[in-house]
Structures are given as structure tokens and as C-alpha cells.
Amino acid sequence: MPLLEVENLSIDLGDFHLRDVSLSVEENDYLTIIGPTGAGKSVLLEAIAGFYPLLKGRVILEGKDITREPPERRGMSIVYQDYVLFPHMTVFENIAFGLRKKGLVRAEIEREVRHIAEELHIDHLLHRKPGTLSGGEQQRTALARALVVRPRVLLMDEPFSALDSKTREKLRSLVRNVIDEYGTTVLHVTHDFEDVFALAKHVAVMRDGRIVQFGTPEEVFSRPADEFIADFVRTNLLRGEVVGKEGELTAVRVGNVILYTADDAEGKVTLSIRPEDIILAREPGECSAQNVVPVLIESLEKRGHLVWLSLSSEGVPLSAVVTPNAAELLGIKPGEKFYAMFKASALRVIK
């Protein structure tokens, strides 16, 4: 039995509708919810938490229908982007808040607060007021406050968005450890794909109030269900036609080149190749990749800690991604000619 089931959740907010959203989340699952701004990710999370009246649908937790339960009786905690701590209370009091409401005795409160504070490396801050903490420390406090009550489900709405990338990375690894230890099931809304790769077991993609794809990160990022999702997860789409089989591989003509995929297919196909699965080299030389395509570097753009490249292979556009170091070592510049190489197993047939 799944831990959390959401069935046909529908909400009417006037201009915005959540439309028949269904989800099934196993115990200990880590589901990230992605999608463009305004897709309804926050509304979905808050609907699961019980903050919106439903047009229809049900929320079932451990087999029990909780659709009509108020938020505080759902066994869920929610963490937002902007920490929302009580400013006049110490970190200790902030974390202890939910335990006091539950009526735990002093010694238990003390033990539970210290334990989660140690897990999240904020045990040295317990006497401080939130206003004196860094963003990362405040968010760790908010996480501690959410987790200390041992929720059945932890809901997080862009929890790392306000933090710098180094702090985000540190928080991800802390979250992963603490989630494992507490056995918490997580629904995490994010626009940062790093969160997906670092944390998620499953991904739901939302668009216009609907879930348009659900799967593992590998499925969603390598086999997007349609062009909108492919574009959103920044994979390359190539259109071609199957021209034959060579052993285990399927040969596909894309423009003037023949590419090989490990997937089975016939007729006209759409293929996906992830930018990070493309290797660039000056010479086609030694490489286990079955696909070797001459490309022209069109442009470079530094985004975060990586360099995104726009390439073209006889007019077919491709994006690839390299580290700044690799870009410099290889002398990647607009107008230069390279070979793009990728494995047949990385070229996936999506349609």
C-alpha cells in the first residue's frame, strides 16, 4: 500500500485550476515536483497539506481518507523558501514548538531537539535568535522544526531557492542523511535540477495544473513524454527515420548522418540525447561511443558552474555541456570544429 495517495485532486482558484491530479507515493520515497512557474506546484503541495477547499478528489494517508482533516491533523510538515521562523524565540524554542504542542515532557523535548540539531549541524546555535543566523542556518532551523515532530510526509516548497549554491549543496547532503535516518517520505517542489539529481527517487512534471509526466529522474530526463517536457528538462530532440539494424543497435538517419541507438524502433522516430552525455573532441579517435558526429561550435554560455554549448551538425542544433576547465583545455570557441560523441545507449527513442 502506498503511504500517500492523491486521487483526482481538483481545485478551482478562478483563473487557475488544478486538474485531476493523481499521485501515489511509497513510504521513504523522495518525490520532486518540477514544472514552469505558475504550473500549480505550490498549490498542489498546499492542497495536500490541506490549505485549499477541493472541487473534488481525495487524499489518503496510510490507507486513511484525510481529505477532510485540517492541516494540523495530517501528520505533515511544510518547509518554505523563506524560512518563516518565530523571530522572538531562540533556535531551540523554534524547533521545540511542535513538540510542546504535542505535549511532550521537558526531557523528551530536550532530547529530540538536541538530536535533530546535531543531525543538521545547528546544535551550537540553539541559544541564538533567528535574526542573527545566516540564510543556510535559518533554513536548517526550519527543517529541524519540521522534522523534529517526525512527520509522515515532509512537504518542501523550493526550500533551497534563497540560498547560494554552496550552501544549497551542503543542505542537500544534510537533508539526504536526515531523511534516511528519520525514514521520512518527501514531496519537494523545486526549479533546480540539481535537487532532482541529488535527492529524487521520483519526479512529477507539472504543466497548467496537471501532472504531465511521472517517473524516475532517468525516465523523465532521458525519455521526456513530449516536446514541452523535453524542452523543459533541456534534452536534445532529434527527428529521424530508422534505416536498419546492426546487431543489437538500431540505425537511424538524422539529416545526413546515421546515428545508432540501443533502443528498438521502426519508421519515423524522435530521439533524445542529454547534453551531459555528449563528449567533445578535436579528433574522432579512440572512444567507445558508437555515435561520432562532426559539429560546429555556435556559441558558449556560462550558467552556474557549467558551460552550455550550442552546436550544429549540418544544420541540426544540439546542446552540450562541459566544465569551464574542459572548455578552456579543448579550446572550445565559436566557429571551431569538433566531434560530438555519444553512446548508443544514451540516445533514447522517445516516440
Q: Verify binding: residue 90, Mg ion, rule CB under 5 A.
A: no
Site for ligand ADP in 179-218 (CB under 6 A): none
Residue 113 C-beta: closest distance to ligand ADP, Å: 31
Among 2, 3, 16, 321, binds ligand ADP (CB under 6 A): 16
Q: Site for ligand ADP (CB under 6 A): how many residues?
A: 11
Closest approach of Mg ion to the CB of residue 171, in Å: 18
71 touching ligand ADP, by CB under 6 A: no
Q: Decide whether 210 or 351 has the Cβ nearer to Mg ion.
A: 210
**HEC-encoded secondary structure of the chain:** CCCEEEEEEEEECCCCEEEEEEEEECCCCEEEEECCCCCCHHHHHHHHHCCCCCCEEEEEECCEECCCCCHHHCCEEEECCCCCCCCCCCHHHHHHHHHHHHCCCHHHHHHHHHHHHHHCCCHHHCCCCHHHCCHHHHHHHHHHHHHCCCCCEEEEECCCCCCCHHHHHHHHHHHHHHHHHHCCEEEEECCCHHHHHHHCCEEEEEECCEEEEEECHHHHHHCCCCHHHHHHCCCEEEEEEEEEEECCEEEEEECCEEEEECCCCCCEEEEEECHHHCEEECCCCCCCCCEEEEEEEEEEEEECCEEEEEEEECCEEEEEEECHHHHHHHCCCCCCEEEEEECCCCCEECC
CB of 39 to ligand ADP, least distance (A): 4
Min separation Cβ 202 and Mg ion, Å? 19
Residue 37 binds which entry of ligand ADP, Mg ion, none, CB below 5-8 Å type-dependent: ligand ADP
* Residue of 42, 81, 161, 310 interacting with Mg ion (CB under 5 A): 42
CB closer to Mg ion out of 10 and 42: 42
Residue 211 or 265 with smaller CB distance to Mg ion: 211
117, 191, 232, 295, 322 from 309: Cα distances, Å? 43, 21, 17, 11, 8
Is the CB of 112 or the CB of 158 nearer to Mg ion?
158
Instruction: CB nearer to Mg ion: give 42 or 67.
Output: 42
Q: Of ligand ADP, Mg ion, none, which one does residue 14 interact with (CB within 5 to 8 Å by kind)?
A: ligand ADP
CB of 46 to Mg ion, least distance (A): 9
Q: Does 12 bind ligand ADP (CB under 6 A)?
A: no
Q: Which of residues 30-69 bind ligand ADP (CB under 6 A)?
A: 35, 37-43
13 contributes a contact to ligand ADP by CB under 6 A: yes
The interface partner of residue 207, options being Mg ion, ligand ADP, none and the CB cut-off 5 to 8 Å by kind, is none
Contact residues for Mg ion, defined by CB under 5 A: 42
